[in-house]
Structure 1
Amino acid sequence: MQRYFIPAEQFLEDHVIVTGEDARHIAKVMRGRSGDKIIVSDGVSREALAALDTIEQDHVKATIIEPLEMTSEPYVQITIAQSLPKGDKMETVMQKCTEIGATGFVPFLSERTVVQYDAKKEGKRLERWRKIVKEAAEQSHRNRIPEVSAPLTWKELLASFAGYDLICYCYEKEQGRQLRDVIQPFAGHWASTDKPRVLVVVGPEGGFTEAESLEAEQAGAQSTGLGRRILRAETAGMVALACILYETGEMGGV
């Protein structure tokens, strides 16, 4: 069943209003008819099954049939900090990690970042990233849309570490400590009510410099390997995210 996120002010007591691109999607793509059912969410605290009532190209009204429980979000809140990769790889990271269960994304620039970042295009880039994340959240039946931050500098990223309970720094030169070694001591103490915040830091195609690795550890990150194989920059975050969710019981682990 198709799911749509709408602003809280359009989620009323007995009906919801869908506007803009989502309304056009219902009218033109889904060819919605009166009585067809959709799921709507305000992305915060309300979700409901609703039946289409009036359908116009830019405005759809649907009557609420019943409220739904919001149960698809992981209790561990995992943010992916990804050094900007080449091409459209960042879009792939955001789309797939949203499907898997990431809570947010923090793009950043590091010493070996290949992309020539143009701050003048930041607005359009952020708009596209957030659209991709929203659509992925709808497709995967998430209850909330992951947050997407504007790109940070390396120093800004380090300064943000204080806001997390655990920072996993994916480093291809780490031979001893693996992700499971880092997660298990914490996972055993976390409860679903704690909502622990985890940051997974992934470098660019050329990896991190030794100086960056040292700075990350000094700022509180734990260096971790992801197995004996070298993963692409756009793959590492997905693997780490899935492994953490498994180790914390979100994918049948523990």
Structure 2
Amino acid sequence: MQRYFIDPNAIEPGRITVRGDDVHHIKNVLRMTVGDHILCCDGQGKDYYTELVSITDKEILCRILSTFPSKGEPRVRVTVASSLPKGDKLEWVLQKATELGADSFLPFMSSRSVVRLDGKKSAKKRVRWQRIVKEAAEQSHRGYVPQVGNVLTWKGLLEKFPSYDQVLFAYEREGSSLVEVLQKTRSQRLLVVVGPEGGFTESEVEEAVAQGAVPVQLGPRILRAETAPLALLSCILFSFGEMGGEPL
């Protein structure tokens, strides 16, 4: 069933009013009519099963038939910090990591990042990135739309480390076994950091460790910059029993 994230202010007792781009999608793309049903989510963990009551070019009125908690949110909150890769690779990471269950995203620029964004370009990109995340969250039946943060400098990212219970730093040259690290941790708020195509410099690794990050290896194969964050996120969610089975 089609799912839409709705501004909580548009939710009233017994009814929901859909406005904005979703009106066009419901009316003109899906060609829904009065009597059809959609799922609405307030973005705060609550879902609403609704029936379309009236449809205009500007808004759609829905009657709430039932309300229930969203089931798509993991118990562990994982923020993905990804150094800006070339092309549209970051868009792929944002989409797929949202589907998997990422809590939020922190794009950043490190020494070997090829892509450089100034404030104006960063703001424009962020609007597009947030739209990609919203659509992925709707498709995967998330109960929350992950937020894409402003593009950070390396120093700015380091300053974020203390906000998390644990920081896992993907480093291909050396590091702890990911399995062993995940078996020991039950932190509920994690940050995973993945570098650019050229990897991190030695000074960046030293600075990350000095700030409390734990370097981890992702196996003997060298993963691409867009593959590593998805692999790391999947392993973490699996270890917490969020991908089926029991926690490690």
Category of TM-score, reference length = shorter chain: over 0.9
Higher mean alpha-carbon deviation, 44-53 vs 157-166, is at 44-53
* Aligned counterparts, 1:29-48, within 5 A: 29-48=29-48
Deviation at 1:116, TM superposition (A): 2.5
Structure 2 gap ranges (5+): none
CA distance in structure 2 between the aligned counterparts of 1:57 and 1:250, rounded to whole angstroms: 40
Instruction: Tell me the equivalent position of 1:236.
Output: 228
Residue 184 of structure 1 corresponds to 183
Give the drift of 1:46: 2.8
Partner amino acid, structure 2, of 1:141: H
CA distance in 1: counterparts of 2:132 and 2:58, whole angstroms: 20
Structure 2 residue aligned with 1:193: none
What CA distance in whole angstroms lies between the structure 1 residues aligned with 2:45 and 2:30? 26
User: Letter of the aligned partner of 2:176 in structure 1?
Assistant: R
| 4+ residue runs over 3 A deviation | none
**What's the counterpart of residue 112 of structure 1?**
112
The answer on 1:197 being equivalent to 2:196 is no
Matched residue type, 1:118: D
Aligned residue identity for 2:219: G
**Structure 1, gaps ≥5 residues long:** 191-195
Q: Give the match for residue 90 of structure 2.
A: 90
Secondary structure of 1:168's match?
Answer: strand
Q: Is the counterpart of residue 216 in structure 1 residue 215 in structure 2?
A: no
TM-score by length of 2: 0.97
User: What's 1:2 paired with?
Assistant: 2
2:160 alignment partner, SS class: helix
- CA shift, 1:178, in A, is 1.9
Matches within 5 A, 1:18-29: 18-29=18-29
Displacement after TM superposition at 1:253 (Å):
4.1
Report the counterpart of residue 79 of structure 1 in structure 2.
Answer: 79
Which AA in structure 2 matches 1:100? L
- 8 A Cα contact 2:23 2:58, kept in partner: yes
- Tell me by how many angstroms 1:123 deviates: 2.1
1:144-159 → structure 2 map (5 Å cutoff): 144-159=144-159
* Superposition deviation, residue 77 in structure 1: 0.1
**1:35 CA drift (Å):** 1.0
Number of aligned residues: 246
Q: What does residue 226 of structure 1 align with? A: 218
What's the % identity of the aligned pairs? 48
What residue is the counterpart of 1:173 in the other structure?
173
SS in 2 for 1:80: strand
Conserved 8 A contact 1:97-1:238: yes
Structure-2 separation of matches of 1:164 and 1:184: 18
State the TM-score, normalizing by the size of structure 1. Answer: 0.94
Provide the alpha-carbon RMSD of the alignment: 1.0
Contact 1:28 1:57 in 2 (8 A): no
